[in-house]
Structure 1
Amino acid sequence: MFDKVYDVIVVGAGHAGSEAAASAANMGSSTLLITMNLQNIAQMSCNPAMGGIAKGQIVREIDALGGYSGIVSDTSAIQFKMLNKSKGPAMWSPRVQSDRMRFAEDWRMMLEGTPNLDFYQDMVSGLIIEGGKVAGVKTSLGIEVKAKSVVLTNGTFLNGLIHIGDKNFGGGRAGERAATGITEQLVDLGFQSGRMKTGTPPRVDGRSLDYSKMSEQPGDVVPEKFSYSNITKPLTNQRSCYMTYTSTLVHDLLREGFDRSPMFNGRIKSLGPRYCPSIEDKINRFADKDRHQLFIEPEGWNTCEVYVNGFSTSLPEDVQFKALRSVVGFEKVKFFRPGYAIEYDYFPPTQLRHTLETKLVEGLYFAGQINGTTGYEEAASQGLMAGINASLKVQEREEFVLKRNEAYIGVLIDDLITKGTEEPYRMFTSRAEYRTLLRQDNADFRLTPKGYEIGLASKARLIRMEDKHTKSDKFVQFFKDLSVKADVINPILESKNSAVVNQSGKLFKVFARPNIEMDDVRKIEEVEQYISEHDLDREIIEQTEIQVKYSGYIEKEKNNADKLTRLEDIKIPSNYDYSQIKSMSYEAREKLRKIQPTSISQASRISGVSPNDISVLLVYMGR
Structure 2
Amino acid sequence: MFNNKYDVIVVGAGHAGSEAAAAAANMGCSTLLATMNLQNIAQMSCNPAMGGIAKGQIIREIDALGGYSGIVSDETAIQFKMLNRSKGPAMWSPRVQSDRMMFSQRWRELLEQTPNLDFYQEMVSGLIVNHNKIEGVKTSLGLEIKAKTVVLTNGTFLNGLIHIGDKNFGGGRAGERASTGITAELEQIGFQAGRMKTGTPPRVDGRSLDFSKMVEQPGDDNIGQFSFLKDIKTIKKQRSCYMTYTSPEVHDLLREGFDRSPMFNGRIRSIGPRYCPSIEDKIDRFADKDRHQMFIEPEGWTTIEYYVNGFSTSLPEDVQYNALKSVKGFENVKLFRPGYAIEYDYFPPTQLKHTLETKLVSGLFFAGQINGTTGYEEAGSQGMMAGINAALKVKSQDPFILRRDEAYIGVLIDDLITKGTEEPYRMFTSRAEYRTLLRQDNADIRLTERSYRLGLASEERMKQVDKKIAKTKKFVQFFKDTSVTTSEINPILESKGSKPVDQQGKLFKIFARPNISLSDLKQIDKVDAFIKENNLDSEIQEQTEIQVKYAGYIEKEKQNADKLHRLENIKIPQNFDYSQLKSMSYEAREKLSQIQPQSISQASRVSGVNPSDISVLLVHLGR
TM over 0.5: yes
Structure 1 residue 595, shift from structure 2 partner: 0.0
Indicate the residue corresponding to 2:452 in structure 1: 452
Aligned-residue offset at 1:67: 0.5
Aligned to 2:33: 33
| TM-score of the two chains, using structure 1 as the length reference | 1.00
CA distance in 2 between partners of 1:308 and 1:586 (Å)? 48
Give the AA of the match of 1:43: Q
Unaligned runs of 5+ in 1: none
Structure 1 counterpart of 2:152, which letter? L
Work out the CA distance in 1 between the residues paired with 2:458 and 2:621.
42
Three-state SS of the structure 2 residue aligned to 1:591 is helix
- Alpha carbons 2:111, 2:117 under 8 Å: kept: yes
The separation in 1 between residues aligned to 2:94 and 2:462, in whole angstroms, is: 22
Alignment partner, residue 107 of structure 1: 107
Identity of aligned residues (%): 78
Contact 1:207 1:304 in 2 (8 A): yes
Q: Tell me which residue corresponds to 2:619.
A: 619
Q: Distance in 2 between matches of 1:311 and 1:517?
A: 41
1:294 corresponding residue in structure 2: 294
Q: Do the aligned partners of 2:246 and 2:294 also contact (CA within 8 Å) in 1?
A: yes
Counterpart Cα distance in 1 of 2:212 and 2:43: 31
In structure 1, C-alpha distance between the alignment counterparts of 2:423 and 2:18, rounded to whole Å? 24
Task: Give the secondary-structure state (helix, strand or coil) at the position aligned to 2:343.
Answer: strand
Partner SS for 1:149: strand
In the alignment, is the contact (CA less than 8 A) between 1:78 and 1:237 conserved in 2?
Answer: yes
- Is the CA contact 2:299–2:305 (under 8 Å) kept in the aligned structure 1? yes
Q: Which residue of 1 aligns with 2:431?
A: 431
Q: Which one-letter code corresponds to 2:429 in the other structure?
A: T
TM-score between the two structures when normalised by the length of structure 2: 1.00
SS of 2:396's partner is: coil
Do the aligned residues in 2 keep the contact of 1:77 with 1:235 (CA within 8 Å)? yes
Residue 75 of structure 2 contacts residue 234 of structure 2 at CA under 8 Å; is this kept in 1?
no
Structure-to-structure mapping, 1:389-404, within 5 angstroms: 389-404=389-404
Q: 1:231 Cα deviation (Å)?
A: 3.2
Q: How does 1:500-579 map to 2 (within 5 A)?
A: 500-579=500-579
Is 1:463 aligned with 2:470?
no
User: Residues 214-234 of structure 1: CA distance to partner in whole angstroms, max 9, x if unpaired?
Assistant: 101000001110000123144
Q: Is 1:408 equivalent to 2:408 in the alignment?
A: yes
Q: Per-residue CA shift, 1:225-278, capped at 9, x if unaligned?
A: 000012314421111101000000000000000000000000000000000000
Which residue identity does 2:186 align to in structure 1?
Answer: L
Equivalent residue for 1:97? Answer: 97
Distance of 1:312 and 1:525 partners within structure 2? 55
Q: What secondary structure does 1:259 align onto? A: helix
Q: 1:420: which partner in 2?
A: 420
Alpha-carbon displacement from aligned partner over 1:295-330 (angstroms, at most 9, x marks no partner): 010000010100000000000000000000100001
**Aligned partner of residue 502 in structure 2, secondary structure:** coil
Query: Which residue pairs with 2:223 in the alignment?
Result: 223
Q: Match of 1:226, as an amino acid? A: F
Cα-to-partner distance string for 1:340-366 (whole Å, 9 max, x where unaligned)? 000000000000000000000000000
One-letter code of the match for 1:109? E
Give the secondary structure class of the aligned counterpart of 1:478.
helix
- The aligned counterpart of 2:246 is 246
User: Which secondary structure does the structure 1 equivalent of 2:530 belong to?
Assistant: helix
Aligned to 2:56: 56
Alpha-carbon distance between aligned partners in 2 of 1:89 and 1:418, rounded to the nearest angstrom:
28
Distance 1:612 1:436 in 2: 30
* 1:145 matches 2:145: yes
Give the aligned residue type for 2:364: L
Q: Which amino acid aligns with 2:259?
A: D
Secondary structure in structure 1 of the residue aligned to 2:358: coil
Contact between 1:84 and 1:93, CA under 8 Å: does it hold in 2? Answer: yes
| Greater than 3 Å deviation, 4+ residue runs | none
CA distance in structure 1 between the aligned counterparts of 2:234 and 2:170, rounded to whole angstroms: 41
State the distance in 2 between where 1:480 and 1:593 align. 52
SS at match of 1:90: helix
1:224–1:235: 8 Å Cα contact kept in structure 2? no
**SS, match of residue 308 in structure 1:** strand
Report the residue type matching 2:479 in the other structure: F
More moved, 119-128 vs 519-528? 519-528
Which SS does the other structure have where 2:224 is aligned?
Answer: coil
Q: Is the 8 A contact 1:13 1:35 kept in 2?
A: yes
How far apart, CA to CA, are the structure 2 residues paired with 1:534 and 1:91? 29
2:20 and 2:304 map into 1 onto residues whose CA distance is 32
Report the alpha carbon displacement of residue 112 of structure 1 after superposing the two structures with TM.
Answer: 0.2
Partner Cα distance (1:492, 1:209) in 2? 50
Q: Secondary structure at the match of 1:44?
A: coil
Greater CA drift, 486-495 or 368-377: 486-495
Letter in 2 for 1:114: T
Q: Which moved more, 1:525-534 or 1:92-101?
A: 525-534
Structure 2 CA distance for aligned equivalents of residues 331 and 468 of structure 1: 52
Deviation of 1:456 (Å): 1.1
Q: Distance in 2 between matches of 1:342 and 1:185?
A: 22
1:356 aligns with 2:394: no
SS in 1 for 2:89: coil
The offset of 1:47, in angstroms, is 0.2
2:202 counterpart letter in structure 1: P
Query: What is the Cα deviation at residue 475 of structure 1?
Result: 0.5
CA distance in 1, matches of 2:484, 2:280: 60
SS at match of 1:162: strand
Query: Quick one: which amino acid aligns to residue 293 of structure 1?
Result: Q
Distance 1:453 1:614 in 2: 35
State the partner residue of 2:490. Answer: 490
List per-residue Cα deviations over 1:524-568 (Å, max 9, x = no partner): 111111111111111111100000100000000000000001111
State how far apart, in whole Å, the 2-side matches of 1:283 and 1:584 are.
44
1:13 is matched with 13
Q: Kindly indicate whether the alpha-carbon contact (under 8 Å) linking 1:378 and 1:427 is maintained by their aligned counterparts in 2.
A: yes
Residue type at the aligned position of 2:323: A
> How big is each residue's C-alpha offset from its partner over 1:452-502, in whole Å with a ceiling of 9 and x where there is no partner?
111111111111001011101110111111111111111111111111111
Q: In the TM superposition, what are the counterparts of 1:268-417 in structure 2 within 5 Å?
A: 268-417=268-417
Q: How far apart, CA to CA, are the structure 2 residues paired with 1:539 and 1:269? A: 49
SS at match of 2:91: coil
1:135-214 to 2 correspondences below 5 Å = 135-214=135-214
Contact 2:75 2:235 in 1 (8 A): no
Displacement, 1:523? 1.0
Instruction: Give, in whole Å, the separation in 2 of the partners of 1:501 and 1:580.
Output: 65
Note if 1:480 corresponds to 2:495. Answer: no
Question: One-letter code of the match for 2:486?
Answer: A
CA distance in structure 1 between the aligned counterparts of 2:27 and 2:123, rounded to whole angstroms? 26
CA distance in 1 between partners of 2:359 and 2:149 (Å): 14
- Structure 1 letter corresponding to 2:491: P
CA deviation vs aligned residue, 1:346-403 (integer Å, no higher than 9, x gap)? 0000000000000000000000000000000000000000000000000000000000
Residue in 1 that maps onto 2:263: 263
Q: Alignment partner of 1:616: what SS?
A: helix
Q: How many residues align?
A: 623
